[in-house]
Amino acid sequence: MELKVEWPTADLKRMAAQIERAQLKLGKSLEQSLVWAGLLLARGAAARTATAPKKRKTERNTNDDKKFPAKVFPFFRTVWKDGPENAIKWYMKSRSDNRFLDIKRAGVAKKSWIWMIPWIKGQGGRTKASEVNKKISAFDVEIEMANMLKYIQHALKVSDGNLLLNEALGKTASRMEKIIDDKLRKMPL
């Protein structure tokens, strides 16, 4: 399953205006301005990504499945295999069974955005969780950020049925505008 984010055109225009403003008012190059926007966007995406709990919930087995009857296996935990679409139930005889209690990679979804930051600043890079491609030519600079986790859409916080990542670009543009205004106020005339 691939997550596609449709950036609102108004937010794209605001971001482009702030990138241009950083070049004209602060003397940054196109690459520096784009890197700055990418860093703010990665941090904003991390802020909008939920962290899984450290422990799995133990639930009571209420079904009378012949394979796992409730009398023999009164408890279970839900365990993901490659994301929530491929989850299994781990049936247990006692609530204190420690197998599959801890969630080993609880913060990977949030950290996958943060891991992009050095690559945005540098020449790009890739892991199983995230990827950054930078294309720099004489006339064009492009930074492509991709989160490679299969379950990232489940980790992103949802508001009114929309992913909050859709709002990330607008918030990034607003943050850039505020930082530029602050820097311009502090600059000597």
For 159, the 3-state DSSP assignment is strand
Domain contains 3:
no
Shared domain check, 110 and 75: no
Shared domain check, 123 and 47: yes
Shared domain check, 177 and 123: yes
Task: Tell me the per-residue pLDDT of 82-135, one tens digit each, with 9 for 90 and over.
Answer: 667 788 888 998 888 888 888 777 788 889 999 999 999 988 899 888 999 999
Shared domain check, 37 and 72: no
* Cβ–Cβ < 8 Å for 155, 35: no
Phi, psi of 2 (to 5 degrees): -110, 135
Shared domain check, 111 and 37: yes
Shared domain check, 144 and 119: yes
Nearest to residue 71, comparing CAs of 56, 61, 86, 79?
61
Inform me whether the pLDDT recorded for 141 exceeds 80.
yes
Shared domain check, 45 and 13: yes
Burial category of 76 from C-beta neighbours within 10 Å (exposed 0-12, middle 13-18, buried 19 and up): buried
Find all residues with CB under 8 Å of 116, minimum gap 6, and list them.
38, 42, 130, 132, 145
Shared domain check, 76 and 19: no
Q: Could you tell me whether strands 75-80 and 158-159 are parallel, antiparallel, or unpaired per DSSP bridges?
A: unpaired
Domain contains 4:
no
Boundary residue ending a domain (70, 92, 114): 92
Instruction: Give all strands (DSSP E) within 48-109, no chain letters.
Output: 59-60, 75-80, 87-92
Does pTM surpass 0.85?
no
* Cβ–Cβ < 8 Å for 132, 8: no
Domain contains 75:
yes
Shared domain check, 117 and 75: no
Nearest to residue 51, comparing CAs of 144, 126, 156, 134?
156
Q: Containing domain of residue 79, as a range?
A: 59-92
Task: Tell me the per-residue pLDDT of 13-32, one tens digit each, with 9 for 90 and over.
Answer: 999 999 999 999 999 999 99
Shared domain check, 123 and 84: no
